[in-house]
Amino acid sequence: MSVRALDDLLAEGVSGRRVLVRADLNVPLDKQTGAITDDGRIRAVLPTLTALRDAGARVVLCSHLGRPKGAPDPQYSLAPVAARLGELLGADVRFATDTVGESARAAVDALGDGDVALLENLRFNAGETSKDEGERGAFADQLAALAEAYVDDAFGAVHRRHASVYDVPARLPHVAGRLVLREVEVLSKLTGEPERPYVVVLGGSKVSDKLAVIEALLPKVDRLLIGGGMCFTFLKAQGHEVGTSLLEEEMIETCRDLLDRAEGRIMLPVDVVAAAAFAPDAAHDTVAADAIPANRLGLDIGPRSVAAFAEVIGSARTVFWNGPMGVFEMPAFAAGTRGVAEAITKVDGFTVVGGGDSAAAVRALGLDESSFGHISTGGGASLEYLEGKTLPGIAALEN
């Protein structure tokens, strides 16, 4: 990746200059209380913000949260993020109640050197995600007018052709933030010549969501371990009964083809935790993966699978993990994800957690984040990078 870095901008001097920072502050919120349940993405942008503040920049921070429909929606407000960011920085963070309107302009105008203002959710403006280049460009013009330079530190959004990610860099001097540079540096190791054995662990619910990355990785990996809801389509492709487990009928033939081409390198669970219902208190027991009762659904991989996966992981020198092994949010079905994650922490080599639910699981299960080589902030972005796709946000920084 040939881009200018944050240090290049700092070397030019940013004291007194307004710098627009696109961050990924798309944190999970409790549906009842609205409280932030995982502040990992806020903490991830702190190194870039701190460097800019220390250099005297006037920081204009922007992000999306959730998927509002191009209009203000209180449940997706970034107000709780502004409060938490202020706590982490130990400084007041001005919060604009709109994206590019009067409140935004007033908040930016009031900034002193080293101050931070956070704009309201970018997706409250239809121009942010519009497919129409004119509409998107008009919003990018308004965003760019708030600042004199642009820093992209939102790796979790670089696979989106959105105004704040793709169009604003064309309108301002632009650099990559600390987080984006680190993410690309780490993932490029996986797409280059990773130290072997190279093991990839994939979970999550749907094969269709991961098909492109499976296709891209299969020729490169030594072993591909598959758990989560997606494993049941593979088990069905082997001719096994999967009960009422999550199943993508239209993907069965594709899975059969992948298994044939993998020549034994794809490893599936040998046992699963089968439950009477999708509920935290559902009756459940562990059964062989080829003997799931017709009236039960698998919600986690079983202990023999964890042991088998852990043995393969333990011999690896490079591990990439994306997607939980089961419904880890329910304690009864979290053991598979915990067991695999703990095995990855013991690897004598380079380990990467591919963002999204995997990163959330690490924190929800109370695992030591520092025991992983790298925890990505971008699930979709990291997968698309490994697929070899051109990421719009990265391409915009290269121009």
Measured CA to CA, the distance from residue 324 to residue 319 in angstroms comes to 15
The residue assigned the tokens 């199943």 is 247
> What's the pLDDT score for residue 165?
98
Helix axes 207-217 and 252-262, enclosed angle (nearest 10): 20
Q: pLDDT of 166-184, one tens digit each?
A: 999 999 999 999 999 999 9
Give pLDDT tens digits for 79-131. Answer: 999 999 999 999 999 999 999 999 999 999 999 999 999 999 999 999 999 99
Rounded CA-CA distance 205/226 in Å is: 11
C-alpha closest to that of 229 among 202, 211, 253, 204:
204
At 348-372, the pLDDT tens digits run 999 999 877 888 889 888 899 899 9
Please give the structure tokens belonging to residue 13.
Answer: 């001097």
Which residues does 130 contact at the CB level (< 8 Å), separation at least 6?
Answer: 70, 136, 139, 163
Q: What is the 3-class SS of the chain, one letter each residue?
A: CCCCEHHHHHHHCCCCCEEEEEECCCCCECCCCCCECCCHHHHHCHHHHHHHHHCCCEEEEECCCCCCCCCCCHHHCCHHHHHHHHHHHCCCEEECCCCCCHHHHHHHHCCCCCCEEECCCHHHCCCCCCCCHHHHHHHHHHHHCCCCEEEEECHHHCCCCCHHHHHHHHCCCEEECHHHHHHHHHHHHHHCCCCCCEEEEECCCCHHHHHHHHHHHCCCCCEEEECCCCHHHHHHHCCCCCCCCCCCHHHHHHHHHHHHHHCCCEECCCEEEEECCCCCCCCEEEEECCCCCCCCEEEEECHHHHHHHHHHHHCCCEEEEECCCCCCCCHHHCHHHHHHHHHHHCCCCEEEECCHHHHHHHHHCCCCHHHCCEECCCHHHHHHHHHCCCCHHHHHHHC
**Mean model confidence pLDDT for the chain:** 95
Q: Which residue has the tokens 């593979």?
A: 234
Ligand-binding annotation for 346, yes or no, is no
Q: What percent of the chain has pLDDT over 70?
A: 100
What integer pLDDT is reported at residue 2 of this predicted model? 82
pLDDT in tens, 296-329: 999 999 999 999 999 999 999 999 999 999 999 9
* Ranges 22-26, 161-165, 169-173, 207-211: which has the least confidence: 207-211
Show which residues are catalytic: 41, 206, 356, 380
Q: Inform me whether the pLDDT recorded for 1 exceeds 80.
A: no
Select from 307, 300, 317, 377 the least CA-distant residue to 342.
Answer: 307
| Dihedral sign (CA 241, 247, 252, 257) | negative
Nearest to 355 by CA among 233, 182, 225: 182
Q: Is 41 annotated as belonging to a binding site?
A: yes
229-260 per-position pLDDT tens digit: 999 999 999 999 999 999 999 999 999 999 99
Asked if 99 contacts 76 with a C-beta cutoff of 8 angstroms, the reply is no
Distance separating alpha carbons of residues 277 and 240, to the nearest angstrom: 20
C-alpha to C-alpha distance for 250 and 207, rounded to whole angstroms: 10
pLDDT above 70 for 193: yes
The answer to the question of whether 112 is labelled as a binding residue is no
> Do the Cβ atoms of 30 and 23 come closer than 8 Å?
no
Could you tell me what percent of the chain has a pLDDT over 90? 88
Q: Is 4 annotated as a binding residue?
A: no
In one-letter notation, the amino acid at residue 328 is F
More confident site: 192 or 333 = 333
Residue 210 annotated as lining a ligand binding site: yes
CA–CA separation, 278 vs 263, rounded Å? Answer: 34
Q: Is the pLDDT of residue 332 over 80?
A: yes
Lowest mean pLDDT among 133-142, 269-278, 314-323, 378-387: 378-387
Residue linked to tokens 């704009």: 119
The CA distance from 213 to 244, in Å, is 26
* Whether residue 379 has pLDDT greater than 90: no
The pLDDT score that the predictor gives to residue 255 is 96
Omega within 30 of 0 (cis) for the link into 197: yes
pLDDT value at residue 310: 98
Amino acid in the structure at residue 265? R
User: Tokens standing for 12?
Assistant: 């030019």
Count of residues in the chain: 399
Among 67, 54, 82, smallest CA distance to 178 is for 54
pLDDT of amino acid 288: 98
Q: Is 356 annotated as belonging to a binding site? A: yes
CA 121 to chain centre: 18
pLDDT at residue 176, rounded to an integer: 97
Give the residue carrying structure tokens 């609205």.
Answer: 34
Q: pLDDT tens across 15-66, in order?
A: 999 999 999 999 989 888 989 988 989 999 999 999 999 999 999 999 999 9
